[in-house]
Structure formats: C-alpha cells, structure tokens
Amino acid sequence: MADKTLTGLVTGPNLFSYIGALSLQDHDDIADCTNIATLSADLGYLRHANPRDWFGEYVNTLNFLGWGLYDGSIFESTQHSLSGSVAEFLVRSADAMRDSRQANAMIDTLDTFKANSPALLSFDTETLQGESFQIAPARYDSQGNLHIALFKLELSVNVKRSSFLFWNWENRTARVIQRKAYLRLDRSRLDTRRESIRKKLDEQLMRRFALRSNSRISGQ
C-alpha cells in the first residue's frame, strides 16, 4: 500500500522528489539502488574532482541494476547563472517539464527537506555544500512503470554556505552546471539482482532520510 505522506528521500548526495504516492517497496528500491550506484561511482572516480565520469559510472550502475536508460545516453551538460536560490531554480526547472505535477511535488519535497535538520546536515556534508549532487523526481506512468529524471548538478560559488539549496545567491555570484539522464525501472531485471544487492548493502549502507509531509523522520 502506498504511504501518501512520503514526499521524497535523501541519501548520500541524492535528493529524490516523489510526484504522487510511491509504494514503500519502490521507495526502498530507489534507496537501495541509489546506495549501490553511489558507492560504485565513488570506487571509480572522485565524486567532486571528476563529476562527469563519476556520473557516468553512477548511471551505468543503475542501468545494470534494472534502470533502463532512455536512448542509452546521458544528456550533455548545460550551464545556468543563478539569481535567487538553488531551490527556486529547481522549482522553475520542474515547472518547465511536461508533467504539471512536478513543480508542486518539488515544492512539497523541498519544504519537508528544509524542516529536517539531520537530512540537511547530511546532504551538505555529502555534497561539500553543493559541489556535486543529484536531484531526481520520481513518478509512475499510466501503466505503473516507475521513472526517474536524474539531474546531476554542480554549484560553483565564491563562498560556500550551509543549507546551500535555500541560500539566496545574488545575481551572477553563482552558477550551476547540469547533466541529466532519464531512466525507467524494469522490476523483473531488478528482481534478478536482489540477492547481490542485499549482500552489498550488508557491507556498507549510507544514511537515509525519508521525507514525510506530516512528520520529521530521523536517519534510518
């Protein structure tokens, strides 16, 4: 049964925003697969010094676990100057997507995230206050397939700030480099990987923060 209070997930350098209610199984699968993809990419590349190749390994690992990559490719990077906060940039970007629910979902996720101090601290630490992080809206299509739009962001600023997502940057003092990939979960493929996923997670598990609209959840 879907937990309608879940608005997203924070784990490592990853922030997921849920568009509509996700099942608890899919919430857990996103957390598990993201955990392994992050660890795999960290083994191959320095997360902040080589973000392009790091992201490629991250996406390839998700693909191996059952997340099919649209068109088999990652979209080339784009650069954006910030006026205001990264959170506002994310909402504007979501509003430009074809799914009209995405901006509202991003607002709900960010509001819940902002009120969760342990999750904010963890995200700041894992991302070096925004040097390299992932934002990923997740949704179901009309057939019940689970999709994620994966945005890799790198924040370039003169002075780093805590809770960097919500800091209002003055015009031309900050810019964002963005890469993106779109993936769809093949649950049958994922099922064939579950035993190896379990064994890997027994060795190392990142902290996880389930974001809920009605309560504050500590790291799991």
Per-residue model confidence as pLDDT tens digits over 35-48? 999 999 999 999 98
Q: In this structure, are residues 117 and 160 in contact, taking their beta carbons and an 8 Å threshold?
A: no
Question: What gap in Å lies between CA 122 and CA 13, rounded to an integer?
Answer: 8
- Where is 68: in which H helix or E strand? strand 67-69
End-to-end CA distance of the chain: 20
* Class of domain 10-212 (CATH, top level): alpha beta
What's this model's pTM, rounded to 2 decimal places?
0.91
Average pLDDT over residues 112-140: 96
Question: Which residues share a beta bridge with 156?
Answer: 175
Q: List the domain boundaries for the chain.
A: 10-212
Residue 218 has pLDDT above 60, yes or no: no
pLDDT at residue 114, as a whole number: 95
Task: Give the burial string for 31-44 (b: 16+ CB within 10 Å, else e).
Answer: bbbbbbbbbbbeee
The H or E element containing residue 210 is strand 208-212
pLDDT on residue 99: 67
Q: What is the pLDDT of residue 217?
A: 40
Q: Decide: helix, strand or coil at residue 153.
A: strand
What average pLDDT does the segment 60-65 reach? 96
